[in-house]
Structure 1
Amino acid sequence: PYTVPLLERHGVRLDSVRRTASRDGRALDLSPKEFSVLQILLEADGAPVSAEELLERAWDAHADPFTGAVRVCLSKLRAKLGEPPLIRTVQGVGYAL
């Protein structure tokens, strides 16, 4: 039987086919970018992902790496995920879930 690719960690469920995400059963209203970033972090399974890699994978090729787009997106994503915080900044490396 066909199974829907679900990622689940720390109470966050992400359905990459339906493009829905929830935390502890509460639906998250994510923008397409926030969804992509969350998916990349979940797939990394706790390993840190650099801002460059997030930019490369979640934005198009013309994104300016110095705009702070990743930081802004992550702060919005953190706010939507709520408490306790799930995404941590790994100094000099990137971000991890």
Structure 2
Amino acid sequence: MDWDFEAEVFQWRGPAPYFFTATPEDVDAFLRDHLVELTYGWGVIPARVRIGDTEVRTSLIPKDGVYLVPLKVALRRPEGIDDGDVVRVHLSVGD
């Protein structure tokens, strides 16, 4: 399944800061409805994420009723993505 959506980038400031976007409600609903067939454990779902010309493999992380899309350095750096940016995300799961 594939989706395109816009989302704001936010930074989680922990021992190792990380950047995320959240999936929209319609994507969350689909992921919850198909969780058993998509997850490899703990609700984590493998995915492909493309922003601009850069695509990476990652895993969606459930948090407070939504799924977070981790934005790896390999994705952020070539696309010049930073905290607070609004990005166009192409998300694929179930490959």
TM class, shorter-length: under 0.3
Greater strand content = 2
Q: Which has the higher helix share?
A: 1
Q: Give the TM-score normalised by structure 1.
A: 0.26
Normalising by structure 2, what TM-score?
0.26
Q: Which has the higher contact order (CA 8 A, sep 6+)?
A: 2
